[in-house]
């Protein structure tokens, strides 16, 4: 009786294992068919992916970390932590320059539709910081003078339709300037 029970258990176990393996093979086939349909790559793309050096990714990450450390260090020495300058002109062209912090990451960008330029990263950061250091923005500053100085330092026409300037300080307070031409 024991032999029959042991034989039955062994045969059942082998049968179950074989069924599971067959199901896994079917799943793998359907996954590979799906990936063939949805994720086809050209030979050039495969060659490019094979040629990519993993150390390039770590170098890029290290460079990004160095840039973040540099910008963070520079902002510690400034009177501001964030700056947003948005100027809209009659011909629907805009000028935007900003340094913002998002979850500890500093982002700097200039989108200059007047001159067809877009600058990001450290280059944009340095450009903005260099100009903002020449303007004294405090709660008692004459906002009209601040506006004129910023327009001049950023080499922007004074014939704007709408202007917004926001400066955030280390203590968390902000100064916002908004002006619309009529």
User: Which residues have CB under 8 Å from 120's CB, separation 6+?
Assistant: 107, 108, 109, 110
Domain ranges of the chain: 2-40, 56-180
Model pLDDT, residue 56: 54
- pLDDT digit string (tens) for the chain, length 182 residues: 555 545 555 665 655 655 555 555 555 555 545 445 444 445 555 555 555 555 555 666 777 789 999 999 999 999 999 999 999 998 889 999 999 999 989 999 999 999 999 999 999 999 999 999 999 899 899 999 999 999 999 999 999 999 999 999 999 999 999 999 86
Q: HSE on the CB side for 120, CA within 13 Å? A: 3
User: Distance between CA 149 and CA 136 in Å, rounded?
Assistant: 9
Distance between CA atoms of residues 151 and 159, nearest Å: 10
pLDDT at residue 38, as a whole number = 43
Specify the pLDDT at position 63.
Answer: 75
Distance CA(51)–CA(42), nearest Å, equals 14
Q: What is the pLDDT of residue 81?
A: 95
Please tell me the predicted confidence (pLDDT) of residue 37. Answer: 45
């Amino acid at each position: 009786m024991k032999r029959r029970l042991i034989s039955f258990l062994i045969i059942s176990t082998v049968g179950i294992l074989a069924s599971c393996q067959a199901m896994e093979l079917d799943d793998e086939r359907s996954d590979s068919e799906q990936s063939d349909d949805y994720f086809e790559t050209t030979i050039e793309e495969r060659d490019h992916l094979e040629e990519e050096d993993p150390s390039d990714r770590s170098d890029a990450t290290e460079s990004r970390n160095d840039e973040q450390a540099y910008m963070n260090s520079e902002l510690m020495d400034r009177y501001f932590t964030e700056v947003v300058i948005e100027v809209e002109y009659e011909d629907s062209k805009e000028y935007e320059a900003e340094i913002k912090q998002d979850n500890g990451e500093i982002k700097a960008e200039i989108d200059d539709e007047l001159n067809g330029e877009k600058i990001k990263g450290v280059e944009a950061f340095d450009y903005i910081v260099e100009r903002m250091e020449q303007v004294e923005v405090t709660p008692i500053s004459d906002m009209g003078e601040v506006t004129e100085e910023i327009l001049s330092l950023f080499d922007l026409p004074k014939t704007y339709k709408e202007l917004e300037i926001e400066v955030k300080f280390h203590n968390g307070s902000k100064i916002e300037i908004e002006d619309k031409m009529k």
